[in-house]
Amino acid sequence: MKKLLLALLLTLLTTLPAQAGFEKTKLAVFDFNLQGHDYGSEDMGGIVAEWFITALVHEGRFDVIERTHLQKIINEQKLGMTGLVAESSAAEVGKVLGVKTIITGSVMSLPESIEVNARIIDVESGSIIAAEHVKSDSTAGLQDLINDMARLISKNYPLQGYIVERNDKIVTLDLGASSGIRHGMEFIVFKEGKVIRHPKTDQVIDIKMIQTGIIIITEVRGKISHGTIISETEPHAIVYGQSVKNSQPGTGKKGKKRRIFQETHKKIHHSVGSGEAPLVW
């Protein structure tokens, strides 16, 4: 009987799936709608979309659909591929593609500037969950602006993982270069607190997350990274198995928000659209 139970246990362990690693957010970028003239290219909407795709892939946390595949689906659905597509239609295409998010928008040529407006559409709800807006004096600096906007958009999808090892002040995360983590990133560490249950169904509807400290990444490998603990709520508060989420630089102290634009594009103006999507834990 003991041998039979041992055999069953070994069979169960070998057939169970491995613990899921970091999962990239799957999204698609529609060609941007052109408004106005004097862009230097009639395909500027497609060029902006390509810049977005390249920048988002470079961020490391997105699985972006190729434009050629997207165009095929668009043609099959008999829809336009520009930023004029309604949110509901974009969501319909997104479901066919199996993506969670659609990025679309417009490029406007004004007398003294060029503006790019991007909308982030949640496929499941079909609604706009965030928007970004940037402005340049000419098309010459537009690609750099798109790269900055992609970094802003990526902040709506923070990196989340776990501490898999602690050795004195050094911790190891289950996030590496393949998930978009970079040297110098800061992560907030959390532990699970009170479990909140529904009073009628007794189902778990939320778990309170309690901050235990902050770490900074010092070494990045393929699937893991190492970081140094820079603060803890109490000695040895950070332990194996706790959750981590990258902090959002420039949103802490007043006047530092969107610092990336102020430092790298002092001559280029920007403004934020309808805000960012809420982060759910």
Position 246 confidence tier, pLDDT thresholds 50, 70, 90: confident
Q: Which CATH class for the 25-157+256-275 domain?
A: alpha beta
For residue 171, pLDDT over 80 is answered with: yes
**Could you tell me the fold of the domain covering 160-246?**
Thrombin, subunit H (2.40.10)
For residue 169, pLDDT over 90 is answered with: yes
Q: What pLDDT sits at residue 80?
A: 54
User: What does the pLDDT look like over 193-244, one tens digit per residue?
Assistant: 998 989 989 898 888 999 999 999 999 998 899 999 999 999 999 999 999 9
How many other C-beta atoms are found inside a 10 Å radius of the C-beta of residue 246? 21
| Alpha-helical regions (H) of the chain | 2-15, 44-59, 67-77, 87-97, 142-154, 259-264
Share of the chain above pLDDT 70, in %: 74
Q: What pLDDT sits at residue 129?
A: 86
Enumerate the CATH 3.40.50.10070 domain ranges in the chain, comma separated. 25-157+256-275
Count helices and strands in the chain by DSSP H and E runs: 6, 13
Position 269 confidence tier, pLDDT thresholds 50, 70, 90: very low
Enumerate the CATH 2.40.10.410 domain ranges in the chain, comma separated. 160-246
Q: What pLDDT sits at residue 60?
A: 79
User: What does the pLDDT look like over 81-115, one tens digit per residue?
Assistant: 544 456 667 777 788 888 888 898 888 888 788 88
Under 8 Å between Cβ of 136 and 44? no
